[in-house]
């Protein structure tokens, strides 16, 4: 990984897990790192353990007012890492009235990215999941109002949304003549606390122990993100572990499902996301 001196990174959800490990390596390589966190106190505690220039800023990506406030005040950024996320949580609506997976994993980062694009200098990194392969995205029921809510299906749909966002963002950047690029990554099976809030004790236990037994430690899971954030890659490259079933291994370019590369589905999601968030692509199309 090349030195990152003089470069400024924003990492959402950086107070633990993959976000924290990503921030740790970036700061150790000379970058200025903004920990964009929901829990400011926890962010300050972990920042004190990191090397180099680290700043803590409040951001709740599930709250569009928080996203707007953060974007208005953060200043120029070289790389935005859209890392924050939730997995298989019980049904709930955010303060803006959106289903939690949709709001946290997709809409908040969609809004944040578009608000920051005029001040970005290098790239956006979108964190996806191999779970997108099993997903179905219903553009007419993104908020799970007509269908029976299923936590893992809602998570997988939000991860498919991430990859559709990645592809359409790069298409729009290219069409606008921008030199910015969008890249993506997924961590495979990694032992973090993301499975701790499923609301189902059995699934929480299986998820936590399964990742510990079959997966990678958080520092290794973060390598795909770091690769996507710092290496010279073409836009719309998706990085994942190169081992069996994409669960573990070292970073490499990986494939996507047919739905994840569907241009019509990507455009449809983008249009609905603009309407839901009130945030549009700022560079022309």
- pLDDT tens sequence across 168-192: 999 999 999 999 999 999 998 775 5
- pLDDT for residue 210: 46
pLDDT digit string, tens, across residues 68-92? 999 999 999 999 999 999 999 999 9
| Residue in 149, 152, 155, 227 annotated catalytic | 155
pLDDT digits (tens, 9 = 90+) for 17-39: 999 999 999 999 999 999 999 99
For strands 251-253 and 238-241, give the pairing. Answer: antiparallel
Residue 194 confidence (pLDDT): 47
Q: What are the tens digits of pLDDT across the range 223-252?
A: 999 999 999 999 999 999 987 776 789 999
Q: What's the Cα-to-Cα distance from 112 to each of 59, 82, 84, 152, 274, rounded to whole Å? A: 10, 9, 12, 25, 12
With cut-offs at 50, 70 and 90, classify the pLDDT of residue 209: very low
pTM: 0.92
Q: Per this entry, what is the length of the chain?
A: 285
pLDDT of res. 139: 98
* 152 labelled catalytic: no
Residue 97 pLDDT = 98
Residues 164, 13: Cα–Cα separation, whole Å: 21
Task: Give 86-143 pLDDT, tens digit per residue.
Answer: 999 999 999 999 999 999 999 999 999 999 999 999 999 999 999 999 999 999 999 9
- Cα separation of 103 and 33, whole Å? 24
CATH architecture entry for 8-277: 3-Layer(aba) Sandwich (3.40)
């Amino acid at each position: 990984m090349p030195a990152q001196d003089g470069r400024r990174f924003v990492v959402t959800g950086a107070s633990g897990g993959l976000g924290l490990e990503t921030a740790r390596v970036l700061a150790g390589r000379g970058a200025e790192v903004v920990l964009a966190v929901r829990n400011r106190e926890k962010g300050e505690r972990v920042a004190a353990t990191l090397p180099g220039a680290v700043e803590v800023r409040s951001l709740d990506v599930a709250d569009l007012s928080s996203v707007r406030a953060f974007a208005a005040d953060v200043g120029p950024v070289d790389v935005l890492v859209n890392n924050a996320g939730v997995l298989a949580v019980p049904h709930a609506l955010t303060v803006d009235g959106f289903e939690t997976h949709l709001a946290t994993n997709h809409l908040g980062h969609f809004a944040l990215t578009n608000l920051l694009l005029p001040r970005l200098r290098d790239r956006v990194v979108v964190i996806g999941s191999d779970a997108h392969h099993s997903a179905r995205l219903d553009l007419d029921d993104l908020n799970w109002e007509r269908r029976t809510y299923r936590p893992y299906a809602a998570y997988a749909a939000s991860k498919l949304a991430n990859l559709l966002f990645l592809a359409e963002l790069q298409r729009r950047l290219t069409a606008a003549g921008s030199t910015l690029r969008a890249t993506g990554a997924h961590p495979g099976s990694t032992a973090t606390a993301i499975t701790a809030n499923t609301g189902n004790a059995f699934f929480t236990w299986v998820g936590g122990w399964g990742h510990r037994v079959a997966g990678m430690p958080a520092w290794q899971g973060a390598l795909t993100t770091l690769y996507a954030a710092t290496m010279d890659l073409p836009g719309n490259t998706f990085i994942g572990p190169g081992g069996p079933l994409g669960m573990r291994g070292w970073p490499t370019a990986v494939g996507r499902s047919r739905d994840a590369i569907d241009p019509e589905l990507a455009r449809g999601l983008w249009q609905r996301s603009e309407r839901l968030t009130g945030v549009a692509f700022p560079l022309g199309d």
